Amino acid sequence: MSFANNPEYINIGRLASAVGIRGEIRVVLYAGESDNLKKGKTVGICLGRREELVEVTSVRYQNGKPVIKLEGYADRTAVETLRNAELYISADSLEELGEGEFYIRDLIGFEVFDRNSKAVIGRVSDYLANRSQPLWEVTDESGRQILIPDVDAFVREISAESKTIEVELIPGFLE
């Protein structure tokens, strides 16, 4: 079983450094804030070829960042072996989102068009969150990749019904 290439699992973050001596570890969430990490939830851990499913036995927050404890990892030495492991949850256990909120994975393939010119720019092919500001990667008809900052100044409206993202680009942005 490979979590990384399995559409039934979603990569929500990575495990960072151990906290204290009781087997707790910091989590770096890729979505910033998330209600998907809860006590009792089963998560997938992937570090190289090592993969396992394990239950979250506690979640607390330290400086706004989650710190978790995992079943079977009783102390600092045990949890240190998980440093930099990717963290996955099953897609069917994702929390429901509020009005106007979306999971990025659901927006891949949406058509992106410019509000001013009404021209189609391309389709969302990826979302790059590990930058100073998140970026939409949009691929046009010719295969060229265009990076559009995911900020209110550019991204104006996302419609799940029509599967479109309306952006307002500054003159010369696409040249």
Task: Provide the pLDDT for residue 33.
Answer: 66
Task: State how far the Cα of 105 lies from the Cα of 67, in Å rounded to an integer.
Answer: 25
Considering the domain 104-167 in this protein, what is its CATH number?
2.30.30.240
pLDDT in tens, the chain (175 residues): 678 778 888 888 899 999 999 999 999 887 666 778 899 999 999 998 899 999 999 999 998 889 999 999 999 999 999 999 999 999 888 877 777 778 777 888 999 999 988 889 999 998 887 677 888 999 999 999 999 998 888 999 998 889 999 999 888 888 7
Q: pLDDT by residue (tens digit) across 35-61?
A: 788 999 999 999 988 999 999 999 999
Instruction: Out of 3.90.226.10, 2.40.160.40, 3.60.15.10, 2.40.30.60, select the CATH number for domain 9-93.
Output: 2.40.30.60
Task: Provide the pLDDT for residue 37.
Answer: 87
**Nearest residue to 2 (alpha-carbon basis) of 33, 34, 45:** 45
Task: Provide the pLDDT for residue 32.
Answer: 64
Task: Provide the pLDDT for residue 26.
Answer: 95
**Distance, C-alpha 56 to centroid of its chain:** 19
Report pTM.
0.69
Which residues belong to CATH 2.30.30.240 in the chain?
Answer: 104-167
Task: Provide the pLDDT for residue 170.
Answer: 86
DSSP letter at 30?
T
Which residues belong to CATH 2.40.30.60 in the chain?
Answer: 9-93
Q: Are 97 and 57 in contact (CB under 8 A)?
A: no
Task: Provide the pLDDT for residue 52.
Answer: 95
Q: What is residue 93's three-state secondary structure?
A: helix
Residues 6+ apart with CB under 8 A from 71: 54, 55, 56, 57
Q: Are 4 and 11 in contact (CB under 8 A)?
A: yes
Task: Provide the pLDDT for residue 130.
Answer: 66
Q: Cα dihedral sign for 35, 93, 9, 139?
A: negative
Task: Provide the pLDDT for residue 1.
Answer: 60
DSSP 50-86: EEEEEEEEEEEEETTEEEEEETT--SHHHHHTTTT-E
**Nearest residue to 86 (alpha-carbon basis) of 137, 49, 32:** 49
Strand bridging mode 24-29 / 9-19: antiparallel
